[in-house]
């Protein structure tokens, strides 16, 4: 398994299927950009999983709290168990090493609401119960919207 930037000349984007059309479409969209922010775990041309993040600011004037947002994180349905977790840990390492994230307070994830209700519930359960993300609306039973993980926990995952 190799972590690298998405390269449309090397990676078989068309063969990737996460089971969620929004994730599949985002990968195709990213592959068509000359400069993309997408990373993939791959074996040869086969994409096992991909992730993409951006730096955002929140607050009334967009100047109060810098955060990292994981835009998409998905694994191919045929990838071995644990590949999605491997991609997440690699993404955490990249985020922790990115000098632009030095002042960020944490990580938001919004790719949990992809797919049907069953897929969304499964993703929310994984990210909140196993990884430690929390719904930002304060409702522990929420299965929608953004989830948040403090940067110190992201850095601890990255270092482990």
This prediction's pTM: 0.85
Expressed in angstroms, the distance from the first to the final Cα of the chain is: 19
Over residues 86-98, the pLDDT tens digits come to: 999 999 999 999 9
Q: pLDDT value at position 152?
A: 95
Residue ranges per domain, the chain? Answer: 2-159
Say if residues 38 and 27 touch (Cβ distance below 8 Å). Answer: yes
Q: pLDDT value at position 59?
A: 67
**Residue 74 Cα to chain centre, angstroms:** 7
Over residues 6-38, the pLDDT tens digits come to: 988 899 999 999 988 888 888 888 887 765 678
Using the structure block, give the residue that is written with the tokens 């990115």: 98
Buried-state track 84-104, b at ≥16 Cβ within 10 A, e below 16? bebbbbbbbbbbbeeeebeeb
Q: Is the pLDDT of residue 142 over 70?
A: no
Mean pLDDT, the chain, rounded, equals 85
Q: pLDDT value at position 157?
A: 93
Homologous superfamily assigned to 2-159: Gcn5-related N-acetyltransferase (GNAT) (3.40.630.30)
Q: pLDDT category, 57, cuts 50, 70, 90?
A: confident
Over residues 103-125, the pLDDT tens digits come to: 899 999 875 666 677 777 778 88
Q: pLDDT value at position 35?
A: 59
- In terms of pLDDT, which residue wins out, 60 or 85? 85
């Amino acid at each position: 398994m190799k972590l690298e930037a998405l390269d449309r000349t090397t990676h078989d984007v068309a063969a990737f299927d996460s089971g969620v059309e929004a994730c599949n479409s985002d990968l195709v969209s990213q592959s068509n950009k000359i400069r993309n922010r997408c990373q993939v775990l791959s074996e040869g041309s086969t994409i096992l999983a991909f992730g993409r993040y951006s730096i955002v600011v929140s607050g009334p004037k967009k100047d109060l709290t810098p955060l990292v947002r994981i835009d998409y994180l998905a694994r191919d349905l045929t990838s071995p168990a644990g590949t999605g977790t491997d991609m997440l840990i690699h993404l955490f390492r990249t985020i922790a090493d990115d000098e632009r994230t030095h002042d960020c307070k944490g990580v938001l994830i919004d790719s949990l609401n992809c797919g049907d209700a069953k897929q969304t519930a499964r993703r929310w359960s994984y990210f909140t119960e196993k990884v430690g993300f929390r719904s930002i609306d304060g409702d522990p039973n929420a299965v929608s919207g953004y989830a948040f993980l403090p940067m110190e926990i992201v850095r601890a995952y990255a270092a482990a």
